[in-house]
Structure 1
């Protein structure tokens, strides 16, 4: 699929059974490449319990299930990969432990040099945007500029975090990012979840990648 794809991020707090139902609604809205199980501050036991419920739902929907930070929970739950951004050493260990069978992603770097250094570990993607910041209607300007810079120069796929409004999604897609991350725009919109995903896919389809070969 030669256009940006959706990288869906769960709310930071949720009931796993309830979210499982909502994820099924999301998949009925169309293509989703990945779902990150995002539970910052939660312990391994809770993350593993939630992932055990959600991973089969995500995989049945045709997406990759990614666990945020907790490599132990990721491994034990049958997830497709892990997102590690605590330190370069932690990232190197995750790459060593999980690849090539599993996905390893990273992000959260402040400097371009750091992004390049972290990508050199062989990660499967690099994420631009701050997951712990309150989302605004538009994607953060730094996220847009970083994703555009990265997409133009590097082969490692990148993910750009969108704002909390689907109406601004086109700006993120226009950066050339391989994946567009959605969080609050899906869970806090108040609209039907499948409809939000369907509209997001419609917007992304209008931004095909330019063939540079």
Structure 2
């Protein structure tokens, strides 16, 4: 067992072009999960995007989650939802999607936040704030939280990488179960396929312990 890739859609994109980039990324190797984030398209627009993207990723064996929008997640037949808004929204997601669907939690700013959402029964916690502009390197707090979590808790964690693919190694070294990539894949000079291939080569060198892999 080694850490796996968790891809995040760009903050904004043109759908047809992104579908081509996604197909390229998925052809580059193992991708455990894709998170579709809300680029401000409105309810109908977000649902259309989810309905287009979900089957592409699922056909490649990749689980797909939708950020915060339970309706879009349900109608697109996504594998679950990622919640980073409020405790109330997370509670509703857990009630509506589990046990068949995946519920992940983000927006975590403190260790107490992480422990609280894990106790609620989420399937994973994500360290790193998606609303922030991407830094080149993984945020120091993301690495600290991921390392602490991997040593102490069984709930899987996701470490958010920076915009440079070189950060994959630092994220993997924390013991995180998943490493999340955004711009490092979609903006890679050699294309998404090369980025996924290179990231997987790094991840394959980091073996999870039994405690870290659950």
TM-score (norm 1): 0.96
Map of 1:177-196 to 2, 5 A cutoff?
Answer: 177-196=176-195
Tell me how large the CA RMSD over aligned residues is: 1.3
Q: Following TM superposition, by how much is the alpha carbon of 1:40 offset from its aligned partner in structure 2, in angstroms?
A: 4.1
Q: 1:70 & 1:106 partners in 2: Cα distance?
A: 13
Partner of 2:172: 173
Partner of 1:201: 200
Q: 1:5 & 1:18 partners in 2: Cα distance?
A: 25
Partner of 1:55: 54
TM-score (norm 2): 0.95
Runs of 4+ aligned residues of structure 1 deviating over 4 Å after TM superposition are none
Secondary structure, aligned partner of 1:6? strand
Partner of 1:35: 34
| CA offsets 1:100-154 (integer angstroms, 9 cap, x no match) | 1111101112111111011111111100001121222210000000000111111
Q: 2:80 & 2:104 partners in 1: Cα distance?
A: 8
Unaligned runs of 5+ in 1: none
Q: Following TM superposition, by how much is the alpha carbon of 1:156 offset from its aligned partner in structure 2, in angstroms?
A: 0.6
Q: 1:69 & 1:122 partners in 2: Cα distance?
A: 17
Question: Is contact 1:17-1:53 (8 Å) kept?
Answer: no
Q: Following TM superposition, by how much is the alpha carbon of 1:201 offset from its aligned partner in structure 2, in angstroms?
A: 0.1
Q: 1:145 & 1:100 partners in 2: Cα distance?
A: 30
Q: 1:17 & 1:121 partners in 2: Cα distance?
A: 38
Q: Following TM superposition, by how much is the alpha carbon of 1:167 offset from its aligned partner in structure 2, in angstroms?
A: 1.6
| CA offsets 1:44-64 (integer angstroms, 9 cap, x no match) | 211110011100001011100
Question: Is contact 1:169-1:203 (8 Å) kept?
Answer: yes
Change in 2 beyond 3 A, CA 1:71/1:155: same
